[in-house]
Amino acid sequence: MKLLVATDGSKNALRAVKRAIELIEQSTAKANSLTLISVHDDAGIRHAKAFVGSSAVSDYLRELSDKELKPAMKVLDAAGIKHDMAIVIGNVSREIISFADKGKYDMIVLGSKGRSAVADFLIGSVAQRVLAHAKQPVLLVK
């Protein structure tokens, strides 16, 4: 089983990592793999590139991703689950879906933020967009 687990450092994302560990442990497949992906949309800070430079913005987003990945890596290491990591910049839902397609992942696992139905309807959510557009099964963990 080849799992892609999207994480943003939230409690729900960490629960998704723990659920992915359970799936790997229950799997009868001889070869299992788990990849953590952290995606940051730089759209909100693109204007900052003009003032601080592209490399400073990229460095900031990479540091943020590293910080968000640490709790998930700690849980995976404690469980003895080997894993890879990917840090991507771009539209979050599109990048998760694209990465899953290119990597031929069997399933995408991600945490659901748990916003209200009204908020999700008005502004949408990454989880909803991934669920609607991914070719693979998507497991949402609350």
pTM of the model: 0.87
Residue 123 is predicted with a pLDDT of: 45
Higher pLDDT, 96 or 54: 96
Give the best-scoring range by mean pLDDT among 43-47, 92-96, 109-113. Answer: 92-96
Q: Lowest mean pLDDT of 32-46, 77-91, 98-112, name the range.
A: 32-46
How many domains does the structure of the chain reveal?
A: 1
- Banded model confidence at residue 43, pLDDT cuts 50, 70, 90: confident
Q: Over 60: is that where the pLDDT of 24 sits?
A: yes
CATH number reported for the structural domain that contains residue 91 in this entry? 3.40.50.620
The Cα–Cα gap between 81 and 43 comes to 34
The Cα–Cα gap between 101 and 69 comes to 22
Q: Over 90: is that where the pLDDT of 125 sits?
A: no
Residue 114 is predicted with a pLDDT of: 52
**8 Å CB contact between 96 and 38:** no
Q: What is the mean pLDDT of residues 69-82?
A: 95
Enclosing domain of residue 69: 2-141
What are the E-state strand segments in the chain?
Answer: 2-6, 33-40, 84-89, 107-111, 138-141
